Amino acid sequence: MKFFKNLLVAFAFISVFCGCRKGKIVSSVEKENLFELNYGTFEDELNVFNMSSAGNINTSISMQDGFFYILNGESKKIMEMNSYGDLLALYYNPQENPRPSFSENASDINSTRTAVPYSFNEVSKIAVDSRKYLYAVDKLPLNRQETDPKTNQVLSQIIVRFDDSKKYMNYIGQQGPGGTPFPYIKNIFTTDKNELVVLCTTSSGAVVYWFSMDGFLMYTIPIEKENVPNPFAEEKAETFFSLENIVPDYKDRKLYLKVDYFTSYIDESSRVQSGVEYITTLIHPFDVENNLYDFPITVPPYDEPISEGFSKETFEIPYDFLGITDSGWLYFIVSTDDGFSLQMVQSNGQRILKRKISLDRESCLYYSFNLSREGIISALIVKKEKAYVCWWRIDSLIQAVIKN
């Protein structure tokens, strides 16, 4: 077992040196502004800052086949728009939103917009598959919530789904249609096979539910902290890790676990623990069908230079795991002084690309990123005067690398 763990670490580090050349100038990716959104309560407006409630902002963006789906949790609605900002469909809670101006002509065969009333309670995440089926995470009222008798954890969330004609179908729970509510849902995904993947967080780690295209449960994958690979456990006694994110593969039934590893920092003079020291970041591919971990992929950290007086130090900061493309590129992002640093790693670890994304974060009140399966990064940028939707066409960069 010890030899196997050492082999995993060695393989992971070799993949870095084979795929990355240091000293190369990092260029920027040009941002393309698409359309703007005003603030308000009308059908094509955002209400991001709801002063009547407190907590996290539940407004996000998703892009599928050039169409944008903007979830505005504060207004309990979802807007489907094209790349010009034209509203195509509105899923809305009629008790929280005024009736759309175009809903009176919704039955007209020439109508290009659709109004879908649904009593959203606390909608928070969305996903769309290739059939144009829309999945949305919603929270049940208190009288319908349940408690897990084993973990004593509250089960309060379900996934409502609408078909390609914008009609409500049913809701999905842990076992499938009409099943037990989920624990807290961190994110939902759809695959190329139109299968739904639900990532939940629990007190002991995470649980992934993998459903068929019809919504029936195929796999339940518990990922508890003691079962996450730690190849440094025997070498350094004070080693610990953080499971930052889990993302499914689009083509294969595979999960990618992004794990950051740390160790206790001991001051040499006093021999007293004075902090933690970052070791490395590994991506652990997990074969769902065979219940096996594959060889890990090392993700190089971001080097953050810090100047103080006449001295200058460089600190290593782990990237956040943004997602994976259908061509097998893993995307990682971290905020910088002038925007964001983007790092793309092939799933086989052979190539690593780095780019800059320029964004004036000081003028942003809130932002939400989305990675499409083609490799396009879209963003909803909320500023004081209005909100903006933009994207970075990184897919063309990936295609150029593949051709060469």
Q: Mind listing the pLDDT tens digit for each residue in 50-75?
A: 655 656 788 999 999 999 999 999 99
**Encoded tokens for 116:** 């879908």
CA 223 – CA 229 distance, rounded (Å) = 11
Distances (CA, A) of 1 to 10, 229, 259: 14, 12, 20
Distance, C-alpha 296 to centroid of its chain: 20
Do the beta carbons of residue 390 and residue 379 sit within 8 Å?
Answer: yes
Do the beta carbons of residue 43 and residue 117 sit within 8 Å?
Answer: no
Q: What pTM was computed for the model?
A: 0.88
**Encoded tokens for 331:** 């995307």
CA 210 – CA 139 distance, rounded (Å) = 20
First to last CA, the chain: 40
pLDDT at site 8: 45
CA 186 – CA 173 distance, rounded (Å) = 15
Q: What is the pLDDT of residues 1-47, one digit of tens each?
A: 343 444 444 444 444 434 444 445 568 889 999 999 999 999 999 99
CA 318 – CA 193 distance, rounded (Å) = 32
How many other CB atoms sit within 10 Å of the CB of residue 302?
19
In residues, how long is the chain? 404
Closest CA to 198 of 166, 169, 176: 176
